[in-house]
Amino acid sequence: MKHNHCWKVMVLLLACLPIAACRESSEAAPDEETGPATVEHLDGATEPTRVTLTEQAVQRLDIQTAQVEDKEVGGTQRRAIPYAAVLYDTEGDTWVYTNPEPRVFVRHHILLDRIQGDWAFLLDGPASGLMVVTVGAEELYGSEIEFEEE
Q: Does domain 35-149 have CATH number 2.60.120.620?
A: no
Q: Model confidence over 35-90: pLDDT tens digits?
A: 777 877 666 554 568 899 999 999 999 999 999 999 998 898 999 999 999 999 88
* Alpha carbon distance 77, 69 (integer Å): 10
* Alpha carbon distance 92, 49 (integer Å): 18
pTM of the model: 0.71
- pLDDT score for 143: 84
* Alpha-carbon dihedral 53, 54, 59, 61, rounded to 10 degrees: -40
Domain ranges of the chain: 1-30, 35-149
Contact 137, 87 (CB under 8 A): yes
Q: For residue 103, give every residue at least 6 positions away whose Cβ sits within 8 Å of its Cβ, in sequence order, or none.
A: 52, 53, 54, 55, 58
